[in-house]
Each structure stands twice: as structure tokens, then as C-alpha cells.
Structure 1
Amino acid sequence: MKEVAGRPDIMPGFTWFDVDADGVRIRAAIAGDGPPLLLLHGHPQTHLTWHKVAPELAKRFTVVAADLRGYGDSEKLDGGETHVNYSKRAMAADQVAVMRSFGHDRFAVVAHDRGARVAHRMALDFPDLVTRVTLLDIAPTATMYARTDMEFARRYFWWFFLIQPSPLPEKMIGADPAFFLNKHISGQMKTEGASDPRVLEEYQRCYADPRTRHAICEDYRAAATIDLRHDSADSEKKVQVPLMALWGGRGTVGALYDVLATWREKAIDVCGHAIDCGHSPQEEAPQALMDALGPFLAT
């Protein structure tokens, strides 16, 4: 583990490390003193998506906010045969190794978007390590693909664009990465002024790296292939720990799915509700998210 420079102007009180997660370098920020809590981001963000809530959470928890492999400043691997290196199983194992590196064998997880899909797999693969899990603005991957219709395809077109064989989406996005990223974020956020310009600059810095864009495509390709095979093999297995699903009341997931019903098909103990925002509660409605996390994480 090596201490590295971070952005204390954005996440005050945190210290940044490059962690050797069983051979994969993962960038993680840590702060606080208390029960361990892992925060996982989605696409196209980095761990800095948690900047409005992480310092507050660190008053009660030992907070670890990490970049998923391929994202942010974490290592960018080749996708491997069948996109195995970006399977949610592999990505979950990274984060378990990160937590163990910080001395945490059992921990809670709060995760958004792609990170929430990693957290779902983590709760299935490591049921003795994850104590409880909060998933932000997703329905299960297999459910969303199985129920695809015109409305979903229109709203979430990148689920079908990014999975196209390399290098098609990589080259098309590479023509103007900042435009694609900004349109993606602005199209999903429904709260004016929610994006911090400093954080957007960090997202743009990372997205400017062609290796990051390839890794992101591999993440989505894995979701449409090897992840579905893993989900099918575990179709009778349910998450055993408490699961809270929160979603944006003005976003796509809540509009197209009965979110709690989808998760009750996948977990034995489910609660949750909509938050008045779009896709990213942690940036759009941080106080409402904190209000929900407080009692759930305390029990």
C-alpha cells in the first residue's frame, strides 16, 4: 500500500492510497473511526461522487471510498477472454481485498450504479463479509436485460452501445469524450446545480484516458455476457443480509420498475424508497440520502 496525492479540497479529512488488491492496483480514500463502510461509485464517476456525504459519514464510520478497477485512478486491465477481468465477480473481489488491506474483514457497503452491481455480486459471493448493503438507483442487471423494451432501450441506450465489439464504441466516444460524459451526466441528473465543477473536471480527466474508456466498455460488455452467466448460475441464491434499495423518483429506474419488488426476488430482507432526485442521490440529494442511511446502517 502506498500513500498518494488526492483531493482534500473536495473530500476533506481523507487520505489516499494505491492498494495492491491481490495484484490489481486500486485507488482508495479513507477517513474516520468506527464501523467500516465501503463506498462504490458508478459510471462515469469516480470515488469523488461521494464528496457531499463521505466526510459526514466519516464522523460515524471508517469510510473507504474506492475507484472500481478500470475507473478513476485504479488500474486499467485488458478485458481478457469473455471480458472476465471486468466481471462483477472480479471487481467485487478487488474491493474485498482493499477492505482487508485496511484491516476490515466485515463491513457495510453503500454503492451506486455500476458499483451497486458490484455490491450485489459481493453480497452473493462473500456473504460472511458484507454486513448490509445499500444499492442506489438500480434494479438487478438480469432483470433489466430480461425486461428490455423500447422505452428502456431509448432511456438507457448506452447499455447497448457500450457492449458493441471493440473498438467501435471506444473510437466513437474518443472523438469527443467530454461531450459524451457531460451529456451522460446531465441527462441523468434532474437537480439543477448538483454537479460540483471540480468533481466534473476530475471525471473528465479520467474519461480523457482511452484506457479508462476501454475499461468502461469492458465493464458493460461483461454485464451483458459473463455477468449474466454468473447470475443465471446463482438464480436460486438470494442476498442474505439486509438490503436497502434507494432510487431517484425523477429517474428511469423508478419509472420503469417496481424497484423493491425486483430486489425482493433477489434478497430476503429488503427495504427502501424513492428520493426526490434523478439518478445520483449522493450528488443531487445528499441530505435525503444521509437521512435514509442513518437508521439503516445503525441497526
Structure 2
Amino acid sequence: MDQNLFPGFELRDMEVGEGMRLRVRTDGSGPPLLLLHGHPQTHAIWHEVALELARRYTLVAPDLRGYGDSSRPPRLPDHSDYAKRAMALDVLHPMRQLGHERFDVLAHDHGARVAHRLAADHAEAVGRMVLLDIAPTLAMYEQTNETFARA
């Protein structure tokens, strides 16, 4: 990914357990803020706001499991390796490795669902959350037809 999108930010691969590795971009100063992207994006979706946010927050922006340059484990028959619970644990690991025991979260779409699971499973770690643009899944699938799918 073009470093020009995130001038001055550090890009690293972080081990998060069980052979999983997340690509993570970090920078800034101030309280920690975890940025989680949606589907089918990567952490790059935050590039237009990252510099401004980094003035007030220490940003941690990973590519979620299966996205961008993060690990893509083979799917288990029950899909538990891509469950929101597994992905929430993935993003908790780099935050703790970076010394952030408690942090805020800004998340979009699929990342917002991961953030919700993170807060449910690890409430002690999450301060505040802003969740953006979560598609109402049940309503969406109930209204899905061939025309919608092909579009």
C-alpha cells in the first residue's frame, strides 16, 4: 500500500495467536483509538481522516483477518475461524501488545460488528465506541433477490 496515504505512520505485521498475523498501521499521540474497517475494505479506508485523528489519538488500524495483508486461515467447516468472536480477539491482541489495556473504537460496517463483539466479550478493554454504517443483515437478506444479488 502506498505510504503516501499515511505519511509518518508505521506499518507492521503483528502476531495475534495460532499462526495468525495482522497487518497494522500505527501513529499519533494521545489516548489509544482502534480503527476497524468494513467489507470489502482494508485499513486504508481511514487515510483521509488518519492524519487529523493522529493529532489527538494514538491510532491502531489493522487489516481484519482475511482482509488486505493480514492472514487468511482456511475456513473451518463451522466457519468459527472467521466468526466475529475470533476477529475481536485478533484485534485485542495488538492493542495489548502495544500497551493499550483500555481504548476507544471507531468502526465501520463489518468492523463495527467485530467491535460490538469485542465490547461484549472484553468490556474491560473498551472505553467508548462509534459504530458507522452497519447494514441491517436480517432485513437485507430477507429482501435479497436475483436482481439485487447481480447488482
Q: TM-score, normalised by structure 1?
A: 0.47
Write the mapping of 1:1-299 to structure 2, written as runs, cut at 5 A.
Answer: 7-23=2-18, 24-139=20-135, 144-145=137-138, 148-150=141-143, 153-154=144-145, 157=148
Separation in 1, partners of 2:39, 2:10: 23
Consecutive unaligned residues of structure 1, counting only runs of 5 or more, are 1-5, 162-182, 184-299
User: How many positions carry a matched residue from both structures?
Assistant: 150
Separation in 1, partners of 2:23, 2:141: 34
Q: CA deviation at 1:154?
A: 5.0
| 1:272 counterpart residue number | none
Q: Which has the larger radius of gyration?
A: 1
> What code does the residue aligned with 1:7 have?
D
> What code does the residue aligned with 1:22 have?
G
Deviation per CA, 1:169-213, whole angstroms, max 9, x where unpaired? xxxxxxxxxxxxxx8xxxxxxxxxxxxxxxxxxxxxxxxxxxxxx
% identical equivalent positions? 51
Partner secondary structure for residue 24 of structure 2: strand
Q: Residue 88 and residue 156 in structure 1: after superposition, are their counterparts in 2 closer, same or farther (change >3 A)? A: farther
Runs (4 or more) in structure 1 with deviation over 2 Å come to 146-150, 154-158
Partner secondary structure for residue 82 of structure 1: coil
Q: CA deviation at 1:145?
A: 1.3
Structure richer in strand, relative to its length: 2
Q: CA deviation at 1:139?
A: 4.9
Separation in 1, partners of 2:26, 2:140: 38
Partner secondary structure for residue 75 of structure 1: coil
Q: Residue 41 and residue 157 in structure 1: after superposition, are their counterparts in 2 closer, same or farther (change >3 A)? A: farther
Structure richer in helix, relative to its length: 1
Consecutive unaligned residues of structure 2, counting only runs of 5 or more, are none
Q: CA deviation at 1:148?
A: 4.6
Aligned 8 A contact 2:109 2:135 in 1 = no
